[in-house]
């Protein structure tokens, strides 16, 4: 009888040890996961990118403005990848306060950060050629697409550095930043005019031009950031996912969105410039995770290959001036010594 009790206690002790070991192994596994933040990940290529990064065993954080859509996106990913690590955190790139709050909340999780994908973007209503503004007074397109991501990245730089030597920033741009690739709806070419950076001079605002300029700013920022981070173990590249008709980018342009999706969907798919959300996301995932790009930075990618961006985007003087102007606008002070990691 005593022997039976001893055997029972022994079995219980073994089971407890096995459970503790399993818990420890699970904690180690979770701690070893690379962490990836993706802005605008509740729909379109952002969602498809989040889905694929989760499948690659990244701990993925969907940084989105709308809590309902963000949580719904998390649920959709978990349906397809039940064992995946994926969460939602609220972020409004049109709000400096929200960006600071997001970073503070991220730091409270205690997680490291290996990959930051700056994907979110807006296009204002092209039928209403009047500027709208963020809560901080920036023109909405420039403030969200460039300044919002600029501030977010600056506030997360230390996290990325600590997770090196292969931390990555991926900036989603567009070939529309290049004057040689003009849109069908507007022939004005992207250009950074520091005297009218946000197109607020009387009679100059144009919503599509504002979008193109913000995408040019994205490329300039990605190049300058990579130069600033040389030797830090963090790289930055920009990516053009191609023209994707099925996206919420045109959510503020109901007429254009309806035209693209309902009338020209089939036709657009036949054009060489168009991509599906899946194809666009695969290009982002490649730049964010492929081992062949270890240590590769300061490049512009399209269709899984490095290619040339516009001449203006490669102007180092323009990039340097935009960097300093952006720092002033978002009111953060990052001493150059903190960014200069060259030996």
The structure tokens 């946000």 sit at: 198
H or E stretch including 90? strand 86-90
Is 223 labeled as catalytic in the residue annotation? no
Asked if 38 and 14 touch (Cβ cutoff 8 Å), the reply is no
Which value, to the nearest 10 degrees, does the dihedral of the CA atoms of residues 300, 52, 245, 185 take?
-20
Give the whole-angstrom CA distance, residue 112 versus residue 96.
22
Environment class of 79 (CB within 10 Å of its CB; exposed 0-12, middle 13-18, buried 19+): exposed
Which candidate in 58, 211, 223, 300 is catalytic? 211
Task: Tell me the C-alpha distance between 286 and 306, whole Å.
Answer: 12
Three-class DSSP category at 122: coil
Tell me the catalytic residues: 211
């Amino acid at each position: 009888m005593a022997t039976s009790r001893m055997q029972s206690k022994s079995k219980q002790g073994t089971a407890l040890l096995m459970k503790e070991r399993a818990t420890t192994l699970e904690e180690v596994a979770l701690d070893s996961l690379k962490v990836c933040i993706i802005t605008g990940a509740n729909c379109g290529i952002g969602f498809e990118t989040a889905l694929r990064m989760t499948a690659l065993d990244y701990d993925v954080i969907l940084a989105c403005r709308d809590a309902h859509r963000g949580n719904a996106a998390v649920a959709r990913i978990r349906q397809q990848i039940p064992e995946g690590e994926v969460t939602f955190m609220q972020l409004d790139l049109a709000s400096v306060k929200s960006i600071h709050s997001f970073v503070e909340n991220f730091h409270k999780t205690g997680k490291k950060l290996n990959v930051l994908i700056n994907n979110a973007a807006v296009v204002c209503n092209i039928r209403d050629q009047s500027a709208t503004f963020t809560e901080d007074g920036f023109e909405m397109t420039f403030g969200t697409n460039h300044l919002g991501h600029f501030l977010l990245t600056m506030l997360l730089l230390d996290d990325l550095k600590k997770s090196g030597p292969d931390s990555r920033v991926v900036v989603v741009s567009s070939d529309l930043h290049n004057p040689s690739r003009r849109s069908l709806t507007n022939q004005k070419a992207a250009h950074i005019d520091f005297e009218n950076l946000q197109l607020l001079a009387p009679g100059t605002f144009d919503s599509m031009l504002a979008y193109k300029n913000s995408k040019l700013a994205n490329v300039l920022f990605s190049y300058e950031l990579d130069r600033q981070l040389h030797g830090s173990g963090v790289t930055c590249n920009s990516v053009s996912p191609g023209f994707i008709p099925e996206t919420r980018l045109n959510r503020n342009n109901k007429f254009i969105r309806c035209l693209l999706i309902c009338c020209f969907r089939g036709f657009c798919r036949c054009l060489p410039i168009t991509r599906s959300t899946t194809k666009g996301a695969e290009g982002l995932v490649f730049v964010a995770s492929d081992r062949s790009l270890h240590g590769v930075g300061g490049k512009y990618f399209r269709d899984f290959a490095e290619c040339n961006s516009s001449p203006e985007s490669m102007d180092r003087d323009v990039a340097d001036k935009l960097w300093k102007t952006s720092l002033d606008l978002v009111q953060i002070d990052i001493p150059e010594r903190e960014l200069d990691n060259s030996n």
